[in-house]
Amino acid sequence: MDDMLLWTLVSAVATVMTALTGVIFWLLSQHNQAKTEKAEFYVEFTRRYNSSDMHDALYRLMQHYTQNPDNFVELYLSEFLSHTQKGFEIERSRRIVSRYFNDIAEMRQNKLIDRKLARMLCNFQGLNIYYNVVVPMSRARYGNSKTRERIYAALRAIRPHFDDGGFGLSIAPGTTKAS
């Protein structure tokens, strides 16, 4: 009888160990799957940033700003409200850049992405163009709505600026020439 009890106990312990091993492997696979999904999401989402449309939009906005640093917002509104081709192009550029960065802030606010992933998604030079060019233009176009201001604040909490705050091509906010 003692042998039977011993083997029953050994069998029970082995069963528990097998179950625990299965749970541990399942948890590890879930963790790895979550990391893989985040990596895939990062690559897919940043394709928007790396697109030729985004490149053209950032360049157009930077060019508009550097050519008119003192009144770029007023010129944008004038062109846009006059329905000129230039106004349409600047507005389209503003929307492309705005949507990319606003989406990051909204996903973070709604806890769809974690802080680390959000910081990675906005770790680009275009973030400075967003803050220094797009936000003032959007405020002029739509006013200072609470919803938009919350989005701007959420994004600033994620990453207040990229690197030195410059626009790339050695153009810093407030300057008009590349050095």
What is 149-179 written as a DSSP string? Answer: HHHHHHHHHH-S-STTS--STT--TT--S--
Q: Which of 178, 173, 165, 163 is nearest to 72 (CA)?
A: 173
- The C-alpha atoms of residue 38 and residue 131 are separated, in whole angstroms, by 26
Give the residue ranges of DSSP H helices in the chain: 2-49, 52-67, 72-81, 85-109, 115-121, 126-129, 135-142, 146-158
DSSP one-letter code for 51: S
**Residues 65, 72 contacting (CB under 8 angstroms):** yes
Query: Mean pLDDT across the stretch 163-170?
Result: 65
Question: Can you give the pTM of this predicted structure?
Answer: 0.76
Hey, where are the domains in the chain?
1-50, 52-179
Q: Which of 117, 102, 99, 115 is nearest to 51 (CA)?
A: 99
pLDDT at 18 exceeding the cut of 90: no
Using one digit for the tens of pLDDT, what is the confidence trace for 109-145? 999 999 999 999 999 889 999 999 999 999 999 988 8
15-29, 61-75, 79-93, 134-148: least confidently modelled range = 15-29
